[in-house]
Amino acid sequence: MTQEFPATQHAIQFVGAEQVVHNPAKPMYELGPRQLLLKTEAVGICFSDTKLLHAFDRHPRKSEVLSGLSADELAEIPSYQPGARPIVPGHEPVGRIVAVGSDVRHHRVGERVLVQTDYRHLPTASSNAAFGYNFEGALQEYVVLDERVIMDPNTGERFLIPVSDTPTSSAVALIEPWACVEAAYAWGERQTLKAGGRLLVVVDAGQSLQGVAALRAASAPAEVTVIGTASSDEVGDSVRSASGVAELAGEQFDDIVYAGHNAEVIEQLGPLLAPFGVLDIVLGGGVVDRPVQVDVGRVHYDLIRYTGAADASADAGYARIPAQCELRPGDKVAIVGAAGPMGLMHTIRTAVSGVPGISMDAVDVDDVRLAHLSAVVAPVAEANGVPASFRNSRNEPLAPGYSYLAVMVPAPALIAQAVDLAGDNAIVNAFAGFAIGTLAPLDLNAIVTKGIYLVGTSGSRIQDMKAMLAKVEAGTLDTNVSLDAITGMAGVADAIAAVNNRTSGGKIMVYPMLHDLGMVRLSELAETLPQVAAALVDGRWGPAAEAALLRTAG
């Protein structure tokens, strides 16, 4: 490291489960030839940070990288800190490249960049690597990144997306959570068997099954396993037979077609789904006799899906899978947990979507936060012609019939309730980040017979971030609408607690170069930072306020 950089820096570190440390003298790393140094301008606090804090080395993204880079290559990256090593969190940043190693080819000093943080090309045991999880994040003044990590090996795209100097640091840092919201609607869904994948067909005694041959003809799997009696016309001749589901324990299948309605069998089949797997439940006129325990954490993180048909047609289950889980004309939308930071983004997105004929119920159980949400969102919804209500579900129970429900709160009972409230062909978006292994008792009869589609996504993709960035730089989206509070390093522990306890009505932005500033809500700025408060526009954060903060608190 050259002399222009300090030997130590301020950093936030998680050193164990529920252990947050503000380290004022974290040593700076020396740059290797393939590495670059990013100076953090601002970084948002995310609810996912609290999940890492709770789980620490048990978090699936804190574990070791299994492939994509060799052990020797990983050992060359000082910011790679898997397992029980202390980690710097923070995966919603904007920064500027201030130094590059001699062999860096795709990045240059001076670039201002938005950071895509989800390294899907570097798998861990049950997830993938990520910035701010097993690679150090941006809740520090400077962070080291390695070009072998931040280049997509499949597309050659950079995970550092260039940004102009026009938007505020906060507006750019807020793009990552907004991109996660965008991805929840824009993610593509698989509507066929996985070509070259593994297919399992399970047929209960006395059940009939059609449509498998049509599915195979459209997208042929490489391997087919059959349990029970199925006609060779449907499944083909070159198949593997198994005596029962228990025999397949530990295996994973990309597609499972189950002809039957036994809840216990469905619960045994769920863990056999590979990531991105589809379970097609063919009821054949039968009825599942009780709610089924579904791992909603895997719906969110592994993107597994449940579909089905009331009759005996396996292909009908795939036919009703939507290409995307976007809002549709005439949708009656409920956003559950709407008064939190991510719920606010969902409500704003719904209000400005431009989808004709939609209406929205923003639902929460906190009247104070609902009032804040209404003050921000109601004028936007009215200006865009979207009927919107802001409801405390404790006082105003919801009635069934919604065609789109987005759930922000990681409570299994709320996912089960959303399925109960869903009408025909509804989409239930499990946006909340449930831990893998979280089971929810779901009415699969309703999911299958009413055509309800349960979807979940984790993180965002480069294209989602670029889409949001284009809106910010064009001035068509002000992500600062979701900002509730600002802080320096001294207030990060309080900020994390506020997110964890759901007392924040919006996002909290950290400015790491402000070492001693505690957390301050925008509504309280007049008391603590009057010069900054005077620069707000209608109570909202913007360029003048950010400039005043850096000038005053810095």
**Does 327 fall in a domain?**
no
Rounded to whole angstroms, how far apart are CA atoms 434 and 414?
12
The token pair at 74 is 């990983």
| φ, ψ dihedrals at 532, nearest 5° | -75, -45
Contacts of 305 (CB under 8 A, 6+ apart): 189, 190, 277, 278, 279, 299, 321, 453, 454, 455
Q: What is the mean pLDDT of residues 55-75?
A: 96
The token pair at 283 is 């009821």
Contacts of 163 (CB under 8 A, 6+ apart): 94, 112, 113, 114, 172, 469, 473
Are both 482 and 420 inside the same structural domain? no
- How far the first Cα of the chain sits from its last, in Å, is 25
Are both 119 and 144 inside the same structural domain? yes
What mean pLDDT value characterizes the chain?
95
Contacts of 203 (CB under 8 A, 6+ apart): 209, 226, 227, 228, 229, 230, 259, 260
CB atoms within 10 A of CB 476: 9
pLDDT at residue 458, as a whole number: 86
Task: Work out the pLDDT band at 401, boundaries 50, 70, 90.
Answer: very high
CATH number, position 363: 3.40.50.720
How does pLDDT run across 304-349, given as a tens digit for each residue? 999 999 999 999 999 999 999 999 999 999 999 999 999 999 999 9
Task: Work out the pLDDT band at 504, boundaries 50, 70, 90.
Answer: confident
Q: What is the DSSP letter of 398?
A: P
How does pLDDT run across 511-552, given as a tens digit for each residue? 999 999 999 999 999 999 999 999 999 899 999 999 999 998
**Does 479 fall in a domain?**
yes
Are both 366 and 395 inside the same structural domain? yes
How does pLDDT run across 150-179, given as a tens digit for each residue? 999 989 999 999 999 999 999 999 999 999
**Does 117 fall in a domain?**
yes
The answer to whether residue 481 scores a pLDDT higher than 60 is yes
* Location of structure tokens 């050259």: 2
How does pLDDT run across 92-146, given as a tens digit for each residue? 999 999 999 999 999 999 999 999 999 999 999 988 999 999 999 999 999 999 9
CATH number, position 130: 3.90.180.10
Longest dimension (CA), the chain: 78
Of the residues 291, 319, 347, which one is the last residue of a structural domain?
A: 319
Task: Look up the domain containing 349 and give its range.
Answer: 332-441
Q: What is the DSSP letter of 481?
A: G
Of the residues 319, 345, 363, which one is the last residue of a structural domain?
A: 319
Nearest Cα neighbor of 514 from 175, 139, 64 is 139
**Does 542 fall in a domain?**
yes
The count of residues in the chain is 554
Does residue 365 contact residue 393 with C-beta atoms inside 8 Å?
A: yes
Rounded to whole angstroms, how far apart are CA atoms 386 and 388?
6
pLDDT at residue 243, as a whole number: 87
**Does 136 fall in a domain?**
yes
Nearest Cα neighbor of 140 from 45, 33, 41 is 41
Q: What is the mean pLDDT of residues 67-81?
A: 97
Rounded to whole angstroms, how far apart are CA atoms 463 and 466?
5
**Does 191 fall in a domain?**
no
Are both 111 and 168 inside the same structural domain? yes
Q: Which residues of 91-117 are buried (b: 16+ CB within 10 A; e: fewer)?
A: bbbbbbbebbbeebeebeeebbbbbbb
**Does 324 fall in a domain?**
no
The token pair at 130 is 């990520």
**Does 450 fall in a domain?**
no
Are both 397 and 437 inside the same structural domain? yes
Task: Indicate the angle between helix axes 175-186 and 341-351, nearest 10 degrees.
Answer: 60
Tally of domains within the chain = 3
- Strand ranges inside 75-173, DSSP E: 93-100, 112-115, 118-123, 128-130, 142-146, 160-162
pLDDT at residue 1, as a whole number: 47
Are both 379 and 233 inside the same structural domain? no
The token pair at 432 is 């909340």
pLDDT at residue 3, as a whole number: 52
| φ, ψ dihedrals at 362, nearest 5° | -95, 120
Q: What is the mean pLDDT of residues 275-304?
A: 96
Are both 168 and 42 inside the same structural domain? yes
Are both 168 and 66 inside the same structural domain? yes
Rounded to whole angstroms, how far apart are CA atoms 44 and 170?
8
Are both 363 and 391 inside the same structural domain? yes
* Prediction pTM value: 0.88
Are both 148 and 22 inside the same structural domain? yes
∠ Cα 109 112 117 (to 5°): 105
How does pLDDT run across 485-499, given as a tens digit for each residue? 999 999 999 999 999
Are both 62 and 144 inside the same structural domain? yes
Task: Indicate the angle between helix axes 175-186 and 462-474, nearest 10 degrees.
Answer: 120
How does pLDDT run across 221-269, given as a tens digit for each residue? 999 999 998 777 777 767 888 889 999 999 999 999 999 999 999 999 9
Q: Which residues of 367-389 are buried (b: 16+ CB within 10 A; e: fewer)?
A: eebbebbbebbbebbeeeebebe
Pairing of strands 35-44, 507-510: antiparallel
| φ, ψ dihedrals at 183, nearest 5° | -65, -30
Does residue 336 contact residue 408 with C-beta atoms inside 8 Å?
A: yes
pLDDT at residue 231, as a whole number: 74
Rounded to whole angstroms, how far apart are CA atoms 123 and 103?
25
Does residue 204 contact residue 260 with C-beta atoms inside 8 Å?
A: yes
| φ, ψ dihedrals at 216, nearest 5° | -65, -35
User: DSSP letter string over 352-375?
Assistant: TS--TT-EEEEEES-HHHHHHHHH
Contacts of 236 (CB under 8 A, 6+ apart): 213, 216, 224
The answer to whether residue 293 scores a pLDDT higher than 80 is yes
Are both 69 and 17 inside the same structural domain? yes
Of the residues 270, 297, 319, which one is the last residue of a structural domain?
A: 319
